[in-house]
């Protein structure tokens, strides 16, 4: 259940940079937990920013981090309702505004929030501190093309498989960073690339379990569901 979100214009938040379109404040109630968020007020305003246009020409960059992606709501609820073992270390990949990672923090879990964009990491630290979880959050600038030598029992990825070219990179990160016996939660609202991702997973060292998640009500969203794909190492497979 999610309360009707309230969005209010914000003055320039302390510790955050000025951005195109400015910032807004939003409070979400998810699984009976209140999350107070600072978010970009107008993500589309980034598309006309000269720095974004230059980065796009150089590395096909898009400011995807600035959107509150729809499936993050159901993902956050699933995280908040899960009976986690205390102290379980979590990594969120492609975090963007990091709602999934913030939900893990709300569960009391030590959480590493990672993204390719430093602006996303600044925002994650700001929102973690704003909700009183700053002592448990770590941020990591992570390029999926160059995963680091560190493994986690839980990896979260919300709406990270919308482009086919990302599938190999996501699976590469999981191969490099998912601990033996661990789980990767990859959520998607039913985009057209899901079947291709599942086909790619079938040729990977991972098994996959699909869990449908009821869609959280939110202004302008149709009824439906988000799918959570839980990936685990196949029997007999282990990290290199």
Would 27 be classed as within a structural domain? no
Domain count, the chain: 1
Would 16 be classed as within a structural domain? no
Residue with tokens 């490099």: 176
The single-letter DSSP state of residue 94 is: S
Would 38 be classed as within a structural domain? no
User: 12-20: long-range contacts (C-beta < 8 A, 24 or more apart)?
Assistant: 13/38, 13/126, 15/122, 15/126, 16/122, 16/123, 16/126, 17/119, 17/122, 19/45, 19/46, 19/66, 19/119, 20/45, 20/46, 20/48, 20/49, 20/52
Give the DSSP H/E element, type plus range, for residue 211: strand 206-214
Q: Is there a contact between 21 and 45 (Cβ–Cβ < 8 Å)?
A: yes
Would 69 be classed as within a structural domain? yes
In terms of Cα–Cα distance, which of 198, 208, 209, 206 is closest to 239?
A: 206
pLDDT recorded at residue 240: 67
Structural domain span for residue 189? 65-233
Task: Calculate the alpha carbon distances from 48 to 55, 56, 67, 121 in Å.
Answer: 12, 11, 15, 22
pTM: 0.92
Would 195 be classed as within a structural domain? yes
Q: How many residues does the chain have?
A: 240
Would 177 be classed as within a structural domain? yes
Task: Report the distance separating Cα 172 and Cα 11, nearest Å.
Answer: 40
Give me the tens of pLDDT residue by residue for the chain, a chain 240 residues long.
444 445 555 578 888 989 999 999 999 999 999 999 999 999 999 988 888 788 878 877 888 899 998 899 999 999 999 999 999 999 999 999 999 999 999 999 999 999 999 999 999 999 999 999 999 999 999 999 999 999 999 999 999 999 999 999 999 999 999 999 999 999 999 888 999 999 999 999 999 999 999 988 776 676 788 999 999 999 877 776
Give the DSSP H/E element, type plus range, for residue 176: helix 165-177
Angle at alpha carbon of residue 208, lines to 176 and 66, rounded to 5° = 65
Would 145 be classed as within a structural domain? yes
CATH code of 81's domain: 3.40.50.150
Burial class (CB in 10 A: 0-12, 13-18, 19+), 84: middle
Would 20 be classed as within a structural domain? no
């Amino acid at each position: 259940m999610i309360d009707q979100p309230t969005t209010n214009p914000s003055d320039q938040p302390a510790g955050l940079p000025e951005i195109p379109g400015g910032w807004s404040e939003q409070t979400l109630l998810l699984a009976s937990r209140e999350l107070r968020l600072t978010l970009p007020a107008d993500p589309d305003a980034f598309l006309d920013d000269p720095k974004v246009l230059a980065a796009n020409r150089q590395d096909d960059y898009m400011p995807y981090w600035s959107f509150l992606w729809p499936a993050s709501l159901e993902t956050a609820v699933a995280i908040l309702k899960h009976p986690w073992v205390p102290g379980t270390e979590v990594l969120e990949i492609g975090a963007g505004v990091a709602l999934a990672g913030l939900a893990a923090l709300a569960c009391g879990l030590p959480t590493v929030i990672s993204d390719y964009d430093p602006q996303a990491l600044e925002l994650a630290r700001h929102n973690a501190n704003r909700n009183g979880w700053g002592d448990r959050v770590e941020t990591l600038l992570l390029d999926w093309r160059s995963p680091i030598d560190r493994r986690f029992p839980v990896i979260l990825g919300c709406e990270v498989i919308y482009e086919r070219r990302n599938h190999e990179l996501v699976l590469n990160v999981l191969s490099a960073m998912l601990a033996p016996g661990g789980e990767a939660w990859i959520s998607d609202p039913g985009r057209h690339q899901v079947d291709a991702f599942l086909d790619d997973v079938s040729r990977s060292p991972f098994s996959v379990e699909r869990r449908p998640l009821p869609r959280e009500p939110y202004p302008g969203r149709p009824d439906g569901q988000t799918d959570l794909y839980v990936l685990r190492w196949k029997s007999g497979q282990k990290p290199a």
